[in-house]
A and B are shown apart, each in its own frame.
Chain A
């Protein structure tokens, strides 16, 4: 597992490359803000992406690595968990990390392909960062294996992207339905309990004394 060791070693350099590549999918005038502002509350997009890609990278390293300790428990709650079953990937954890990023990109002005391209940008980041080592140490086979796991994640991303978009349409439909229902409701005469209401005004005058 030479490649894995190498990847662990160069983790922060690769992540930096990857992060920059992802942020470069945003307008250049704003990528500075996304990179610069470190407070996660004031920059949810940048911090989610950075956290997300770091987690994804770790996830990829854990897989099929005999030296890996067991998974730490998931700390992020409240998310819909994806189902496992991706080839060699723990779908659940990967889904969660991917979801955080894709959910954001699904409401930004990206085409579907651009929304999920960020995962593939990791390939470039690794190839560029490890350009020399890959040749010198003959890591091609391992690299291909690792890259196929990235491809798996890309497929998973597609599912998640669709889920996010479906959710948006669902929200739209719900709102429209609520509106239509209201319009119908107000168009109808409500006959019920008219008589009750008629007497209310008189009764209130009496109640006033009691309660004041």
Chain B
């Protein structure tokens, strides 16, 4: 918070005088816009440097004596290892095309949230230390020293970037701020400067296989709850398997979907779909995370976490892998996994056992996106669907940053939605597909302490939702990302109350007519289906069931 203004300043607001240039405007840490610092324990677990108790709000960050040396050495090393980094440090002409493309800039007006300036925070130090012009001309050439305030500025602003790549779409040279943010975060991690919300899950994932730190029994237990619910809704008892050798397919989802609503409904949908197909697949408790918070830490950490997927596929002897609905998970699987931990020559090119389709586009990585898998099923008429069950929903689709700009899976989810729902409406064309706006909470920013940052970052997305709400009465925001499913509900609650959030496979399962199912009266959320008049008896049962679940949970809590 800025200091309390004097009474006469309140109504009289002068033109702000031209401020000092950005290089001379030191960062001010404002409550609500930064995340807590990483805990010593998390860093120790993964063997990261400088584990200690610290807070970003402290004056002293307890850095090693030679921290500048460490950062500059790391800087040089990365310039030599990544052409992207080297080229992006050199070629920006500051044309300003990216300036208003960042959701954080649009929502905040903070000039340092312009992608070009975010990158200049790093570039200025690059020029000062690694270019002739910068060494000789100094500030004239846009160079500056790496000082303590500069380091703090890095920390503040590189954890205000969601690595969404929207700026990269509009840049005439394809300069990708995500790349720059990744490098900056790597450098910060050399000093033990991360956020708790990132380093905690990364450590969990390293030891326990998933971000949430769910131990084996918790995974099976959570899924058991879902199976109970599925049984009471459909009358069908599903029996999935875990860590089973010899299964044809390994299934990996973001662990968030095992844990919290509405992600759990997506998992329920996937369980129901695979059951209906009779798919020979297994879950794994070791590789129980598709997402990768290591990716928000360093390339090496991301590779360490990602290694489990192929290792487990090999151990279990599966033929190929299906991945659930998740955003950054798919950026990693699509653009990094094979390079890091491949070649997966112990697997086979993915072939759908139901339709016989060979997924040529995944023939090397051997991992298929569940939306690709399901779209193929629907195309071949292998699913019996009753979209009327989703008739109470007016659905719009939010493209996730990573799957749209780091992969390009745009049509598959739309095709599925249009087949399982009768009412689908697109948002404004400037806010979907490759131009989609971030939820405001990606790349490990979905902590609670930075809620103001998340809300304003998500404003452009929410604003486009609001428009289709007003025009068409949209009431459901579909997506294929676990972070979306965690971040969009509060975003909607704040900006456009009344809009629900759902994964695509929840919609699929609601429309899916299963063999031997009883007549369904509710959807996966236990809400009555459209056209179904709930009898008093049914309502009582539903409420009982809800109470029972509540009791069960309370028991566990106590």
Interface residues of A (CB under 8 A from B): 21, 24-31, 33-34, 37, 39-45, 48, 75-80, 103-104, 106-109, 111, 113-114, 117, 120-121, 123-124, 164, 167-168, 171-172, 174-176, 178-179, 181-182, 184-186, 188-190, 192-193, 196-197, 200-201, 203-205, 207-208, 210-212
Chain A to chain B contacts (Cβ below 8 Å), 14 pairs: A43-B106, A103-B495, A106-B452, A107-B455, A108-B109, A113-B5, A117-B10, A171-B490, A175-B448, A175-B490, A185-B553, A190-B220, A190-B556, A197-B224
Tell me the bound Cα distance from A25 to B9 in angstroms: 12
Taking a contact as CB atoms under 8 Å apart, the answer to whether A204 and B241 are in contact is yes
Q: Which of B34-42, B78-86, B177-185, B460-468 contacts A (4 or more CB under 8 A)?
A: B460-468
Interface residues of B (CB under 8 A from A): 1-2, 4-5, 10-16, 18-19, 30, 32-33, 99-100, 105-111, 212-215, 217-218, 220-222, 224, 239-242, 244, 246-247, 259-260, 277-280, 282, 353, 428, 430-431, 448-449, 451-453, 455-456, 459-460, 463-464, 466-467, 469-470, 473, 490, 493-499, 553, 556-557
- Checking B100, B214, B466, B473 against A42 with a beta-carbon cut-off of 8 angstroms, the contacting residue is B100
Tell me the bound Cα distance from A184 to B221 in angstroms: 13
Q: What number of residue pairs across chains A and B have CB atoms under 8 A from each other?
A: 191
Question: Assuming the A-B contacts A24-B16, A109-B2, are A211 and B448 also in contact, with contact meaning beta carbons closer than 8 angstroms in the complex?
Answer: no
Taking a contact as CB atoms under 8 Å apart, the answer to whether B490 and A75 are in contact is no
Residues of B within 8 A of A192 (CB): 221, 224
Taking a contact as CB atoms under 8 Å apart, the answer to whether A41 and B431 are in contact is yes
Taking a contact as CB atoms under 8 Å apart, the answer to whether B4 and A111 are in contact is yes
Residues of A within 8 A of B280 (CB): 204, 208, 211-212
Question: Assuming the A-B contacts A184-B557, A204-B241, A212-B278, are A27 and B16 also in contact, with contact meaning beta carbons closer than 8 angstroms in the complex?
Answer: yes
Residues of B within 8 A of A196 (CB): 224, 239
Taking a contact as CB atoms under 8 Å apart, the answer to whether A200 and B239 are in contact is yes
Question: Assuming the A-B contacts A39-B430, A181-B553, are A28 and B490 also in contact, with contact meaning beta carbons closer than 8 angstroms in the complex?
Answer: no
Taking a contact as CB atoms under 8 Å apart, the answer to whether A44 and B109 are in contact is no
- Checking A44, A175, A205 against B460 with a beta-carbon cut-off of 8 angstroms, the contacting residue is A44
Taking a contact as CB atoms under 8 Å apart, the answer to whether B260 and A44 are in contact is no
Tell me the bound Cα distance from A24 to B17 in angstroms: 10
Taking a contact as CB atoms under 8 Å apart, the answer to whether B106 and A113 are in contact is no
Tell me the bound Cα distance from A69 to B222 in angstroms: 59
Taking a contact as CB atoms under 8 Å apart, the answer to whether B456 and A28 are in contact is no
Residues of A within 8 A of B453 (CB): 107
Question: Assuming the A-B contacts A44-B106, A108-B109, A121-B13, are A78 and B459 also in contact, with contact meaning beta carbons closer than 8 angstroms in the complex?
Answer: no
Residues of B within 8 A of A104 (CB): 107, 456, 459
| Nearest CB in chain B to that of A75: its residue | B470
Report the minimum CB–CB distance from B476 to chain A (whole Å). 13
Taking a contact as CB atoms under 8 Å apart, the answer to whether B494 and A76 are in contact is no
